Amino acid sequence: MNIINHMKKLKIITAYCLLFFLAAACNPEAQGDQESPKAEQESPKIKNVILMIGDGMGPSQVYAGLTANNGSLHLEKSSYSGFIKTNSSDDYVTDSAAGATAYATGHKTYNGAIGVDSSENALPTILEIAEEHGLATGLVATSSITHATPASFIAHQPSRDMTEEIAADFLLTDIDVFIGGGEEYFSDREDGRNLLAELEEKNYRVSNDLDEIAQVTSGKLAGFLPVRRWSEGRNDQLMKTSETAINLLNQNEDGFFLMIEGSQIDWGSHDNDLEYTIEEMLDFDRTIGKVFEFAENDGETLVVITADHETGGLTLTGGNLETGEVEGEFSTGGHTGTLVPIFSYGPGAEKFSGIYHNTAVFDKLMNALQLDAQ
Q: How many residues does the chain have?
A: 374
With respect to residue 8, please indicate whether it lies within any of the assigned structural domains: no
The whole-number average pLDDT for the span 182-208 is: 97
Residue 160 covered by a domain: yes
Q: What are phi and psi of 311, to 5 degrees?
A: -125, 140
Domain hosting 82: range is: 48-368
Span 340-362, average pLDDT: 98
pLDDT given at position 374: 65
Which residue, 43, 42, 40, 21, is CA-closest to 32?
40
As a three-state string, the secondary structure of 108-121 is CCCCCCECECCCCC
Query: Which CATH number is 147's domain given?
Result: 3.40.720.10
Q: Quick check: is 267 in a domain?
A: yes
Least confident of 27-36, 183-192, 207-216, 285-294: 27-36
Residue 252 lies in a domain: yes
Quote the pLDDT of residue 37. Answer: 39
Mean pLDDT computed over 223-228: 97
Give CA separation, 98 vs 59, 105, 152, 270, 333, in Å: 20, 10, 8, 18, 19
Contacts by 20-28, CB closer than 8 A, 24 or more apart: none
**Domain assignment of residue 291, yes or no:** yes
Q: What is the mean pLDDT of residues 189-212?
A: 97
Helix (H) or strand (E) holding 325: strand 325-329
Active-site position among 78, 96, 242, 263: 96
Please report whether residue 103 resides in a domain: yes
Residue 19 lies in a domain: no
The rounded distance, in Å, linking the Cα atoms of 13 and 302 is: 52
pLDDT digits over 257-315, tens only? 999 999 999 999 999 999 999 999 999 999 999 999 999 999 999 999 999 999 999 99
CA dist 182 and 188 (Å) reads 10
pLDDT tens per residue across span 23-51: 333 343 333 333 333 334 567 899 999 99
Residue 28 placed within a domain: no
pLDDT digits (tens, 9 = 90+) for 58-90: 999 999 999 999 999 999 999 999 999 999 999
Per the CB < 8 A criterion, the answer to whether 334 and 267 are in contact is no
96 counts as catalytic? yes
Q: How many domains does one find in the chain? A: 1
